[in-house]
Chain A
Amino acid sequence: MQDIQEIKNEIAQDRRAFIKKVMGGAVAGSLLMVIPATATEIAEQIPGMRAEKTVFTKKRFAFIVDVTRCIGCGSCCVADRNEYDVPDGVYRTWVERYIIDDQDNVFVDSPNGGTDGYTEPRTDIPNPVRDTFFVPKLCNMCEKPSCVQVCPVGATYKTEDGFVLIDPKRCVGCGYCVQACPYSVRYFNKNHTADKCTWCYHRVRQGMLPACVNVCPVQARKFGDILDKSSEVYKILHEPHVISVLKPGMGNKPSLHYVGLRREVV
């Protein structure tokens, strides 16, 4: 209550000055302040990743996207573009909007991959709408990746802990992997090599969640070790939910699971 009283007083004085102080960070201290703790002292988001005795290959990671929660805000796309140097017009992750009318026509769009959120409604829906939802997309981190199969030089590969990565020093830029991916998650970056979402491998190995998972305000993206029975992903995958993957007929066996996905999603 003490804090609230202080704030009330501040408001009473001068709201604009108050805002300025908060925004300017002056309340927090000098601009030249050195933070007391280094980055690694932020608590682990994935338990056990930083321990000396952890064998990282004994973890089995799953990424779950809950379509029933996504609000299409695009925070995930913003965080992803902040984390990596993604060229304009290509995407490591994106969000699609689905609108299904009562004649089973499906209208899909993804303006700028959803990076700016969705600012306009669709006005070209002729019939009443039956269902609407947002679908975030990212690398499916397949167990049998077709991209790894076709890479002529072994530049893209699957690690021992199940992540599909791209070696930027060996990639020759042939584009075969881009053609082979059934989910269109690959693109060419500024260095003329192939690139894609890596489930933030560098963050995960240091015990942090992928950037997009970390920023989702409604917990539509979840990440964790399914061998850890206390993890949320374990619980979800062991409870009766409607869980599916994209394009199961391709045979790639994605590790990206969707909760609440509809059949119209490709």
Chain B
Amino acid sequence: MEKEDYKSNYNTHVIRLVVILVVVGVGGYFAKAAFTPDTMGQYGHYRGSNVEEQKGREMRNMTNDSCFQCHKYIRRIHKNGVHKDVSCEVCHGAYADHVKDGKYIGKLPVKRGAEIKALCLRCHNKVIQARPRDSIKVVALPQHLEEKKVRTDHICDQCHMVHDPLLWVKQAREMMGMKEEK
């Protein structure tokens, strides 16, 4: 091809390309600075303000002592009984569903009937393998009921008051003049 007159120089396209790349690069650099969260890198490669956000999360469960602030009668029974290490909230639900900012906001479910039996058997079921050798007392159903000579459709809490399961048992024995069973 013979040399002709061109509108542009031989390197116009290269220059324009380089300019575009530089503009995009610089623009990207500033965009990065603008959009990166402020506390990024405060402690490490993460958003530092998230640590406070996580700390400020609402606690939903409390402790048994929180429940006992109001439920004083049950406290007397529970704290002196064999279930003192059992959490109120595992059976009844989280504190946050019941009290908020010191005020009652909702009713927590009370377990009845077969629900109670299922809860008891979580810990006290003898047939489940894998328990430690020396641990809490376990029983097998219906053998336990047969042993105690009661009807086999009994629910646990008909003899064992759930907040201190040995309370009535001990009192019954005392009334009957029986010795403590080992």
B61 within 8 A of A: yes
Which of A33, A35, A167 makes the CB contact (< 8 A) with B50? Answer: A167
Q: How far is the CB of A27 from chain B (nearest CB, A)?
A: 4
Instruction: Contact check, A82 vs B122: say whether CB atoms are below 8 A apart.
Output: no
Which of B5-13, B17-25, B96-104 contacts its partner? B96-104
Interface residues of B in 59-115 (CB under 8 A from A): 59-63, 65-66, 69-74, 76-77, 85-87, 89-90, 93-95, 99, 101-104, 110
A103 within 8 A of B: no
Interface residues of B in 114-160 (CB under 8 A from A): 118, 121-123, 125, 127-132, 135-136, 157
| A contact residues, range | 35 or more
Q: Is the interface of B mostly helix, strand, loop or mixed?
A: loop
Residue ID in chain B nearest A8 by CB atoms: B171
Which of B110, B122, B130 makes the CB contact (< 8 A) with A133? Answer: B130
Q: How far is the CB of B98 from chain A (nearest CB, A)?
A: 10
B51 within 8 A of A: yes
Q: Which residues of chain A come closer than 8 Å to B43, judged between CB atoms?
A: 159-160
Q: Which residues of chain B come closer than 8 Å to A72, judged between CB atoms?
A: 128, 130-131
Instruction: Contact check, A217 vs B163: say whether CB atoms are below 8 A apart.
Output: no
Q: How far is the CB of B89 from chain A (nearest CB, A)?
A: 6
Q: Which residues of chain B come closer than 8 Å to A250, judged between CB atoms?
A: none
B55 within 8 A of A: yes
Known A-B contacts A133-B130, A203-B59, A218-B135; the reply to A165 vs B51 at CB < 8 A is yes
Instruction: Contact check, A29 vs B70: say whether CB atoms are below 8 A apart.
Output: yes
The CA of A42 and the CA of B67, in the complex, are separated in Å by: 10
Instruction: Contact check, B129 vs A201: say whether CB atoms are below 8 A apart.
Output: no
Instruction: Contact check, B161 vs A202: say whether CB atoms are below 8 A apart.
Output: no
Interface residues of A in 203-229 (CB under 8 A from B): 203, 205-206, 208, 211, 214-215, 217-219
| B contact residues, range | 35 or more
A51 within 8 A of B: no
Residue ID in chain A nearest B69 by CB atoms: A35
Instruction: Contact check, B47 vs A170: say whether CB atoms are below 8 A apart.
Output: yes
Q: How far is the CB of B122 from chain A (nearest CB, A)?
A: 3
Instruction: Contact check, B104 vs A70: say whether CB atoms are below 8 A apart.
Output: no
Instruction: Contact check, A22 vs B102: say whether CB atoms are below 8 A apart.
Output: no
B40 within 8 A of A: yes
A190 within 8 A of B: no
Q: How far is the CB of B99 from chain A (nearest CB, A)?
A: 6
A179 within 8 A of B: no
Of the candidates B44, B85, B131, the one having the most CB atoms from chain A within 10 angstroms of its own CB is B131
Q: Which residues of chain B come closer than 8 Å to A73, judged between CB atoms?
A: 122-123
A selection of 23 A-B contacts at a CB cut-off of 8 Å is A7-B167, A25-B74, A34-B104, A39-B95, A42-B62, A42-B63, A69-B132, A69-B135, A70-B132, A71-B123, A84-B60, A97-B130, A116-B122, A119-B121, A132-B131, A133-B132, A154-B45, A154-B47, A156-B46, A165-B50, A201-B54, A215-B90, A218-B135
Q: Which residue numbers of A lie inside 8 Å of B, CB to CB?
A: 3-4, 7-8, 11, 19, 22-25, 27-29, 31-39, 42-43, 45, 68-75, 78-79, 82-84, 97-99, 116-122, 129, 132-134, 154-160, 165, 167, 169-170, 198, 201-203, 205-206, 208, 211, 214-215, 217-219
Q: Which residue numbers of B lie inside 8 Å of A, CB to CB?
A: 37, 40, 43-47, 50-51, 54-63, 65-66, 69-74, 76-77, 85-87, 89-90, 93-95, 99, 101-104, 110, 118, 121-123, 125, 127-132, 135-136, 157, 161, 163, 167-168, 171
